[in-house]
Structure 1
Amino acid sequence: MAIQNNVQKVRARIEETSARAAQKKQVKLIGVTKSVSTDIARQLLEEGVEALGENRPEGLLEKQKEIGRDACEWHFIGSLQTRKVRQVINAIDYLHSLDRIGLAEEIEKRANEPVKCFVQVNVSGEESKHGIHPEDIHSFLHEVGQYPKVQVVGLMTMAPLTDDEQTIREVFRSLRQLRDEVQERHYAHAPCTELSMGMSGDFETAIEEGATFVRIGTVLVEA
Structure 2
Amino acid sequence: MMIKEQLEEVRERVNAACLRAGRDPKSVTLIAVSKTKPAQAVQEAYEAGARDFGENKVQEILQKQPALPQDIRWHMIGHLQRNKVHQVIGKAVLIHAVDSLRLAEQIEQEAAKRNLDVDVLLEINVAKEESKYGFFLEDAEEAIRRISALPHVHIKGLMTIAPFVENPEENRGIFQKLYQFSVDINDKNIDNVTMGVLSMGMSGDFEVAIEEGATMVRVGTSIFGAR
Specify if TM > 0.5: yes
Does residue 202 (structure 1) correspond to residue 205 (structure 2)? The answer is yes
Which position in structure 2 is the counterpart of 1:28? 29
Q: Please report the RMSD computed on the Cα atoms of aligned residues, expressed in angstroms.
A: 1.3
SS of residue paired to 2:36: coil
Amino acid across the alignment from 2:122: V
Deviating above 4 A after TM superposition, structure 1's stretches of 4 or more consecutive aligned residues are none
SS of residue paired to 1:200: coil
Cα deviation 1:68-100 (Å, max 9, x = unaligned): 5x3211100000000110011121100000111
- Size of the aligned set, in residue pairs, is 222
Which position in structure 2 is the counterpart of 1:193? 196
Does residue 67 (structure 1) correspond to residue 68 (structure 2)? The answer is yes
Within 5 Å, which residues of 2 pair with 1:88-167? 88-111=88-111, 112=114, 113-167=116-170
SS of residue paired to 2:173: helix
**In structure 2, what is the Cα distance between the partners aligned to 1:148 and 1:213?**
25
Cα deviation 1:139-192 (Å, max 9, x = unaligned): 001100221111111100011122243331110111001111110111121111
Cα deviation 1:113-156 (Å, max 9, x = unaligned): 21111100000011101000100111001100221111111100
- TM-score, normalised to structure 1, is 0.96
**In structure 2, what is the Cα distance between the partners aligned to 1:53 and 1:164?**
24
SS of residue paired to 2:164: coil
SS of residue paired to 1:118: strand
Which position in structure 1 is the counterpart of 2:6? 6
Which position in structure 1 is the counterpart of 2:51? 50
Deviation at 1:50, TM superposition (A): 1.1
SS of residue paired to 2:190: coil
Cα deviation 1:13-43 (Å, max 9, x = unaligned): 1011101101246200111000211000011
Tell me the percent identity.
38
Does residue 15 (structure 1) correspond to residue 18 (structure 2)? The answer is no
Which position in structure 2 is the counterpart of 1:182? 185
SS of residue paired to 1:75: strand
**In structure 2, what is the Cα distance between the partners aligned to 1:213 and 1:203?**
9
Amino acid across the alignment from 1:41: V
- TM-score, normalised to structure 2, is 0.94
Q: Does the 8 Å CA contact 2:168/2:204 hold for their aligned counterparts?
A: no
Gaps of 5+ in 2: none
Gaps of 5+ in 1: none
Amino acid across the alignment from 2:148: G
SS of residue paired to 1:155: strand
Does residue 83 (structure 1) correspond to residue 52 (structure 2)? The answer is no
Q: Does the 8 Å CA contact 2:105/2:150 hold for their aligned counterparts?
A: yes
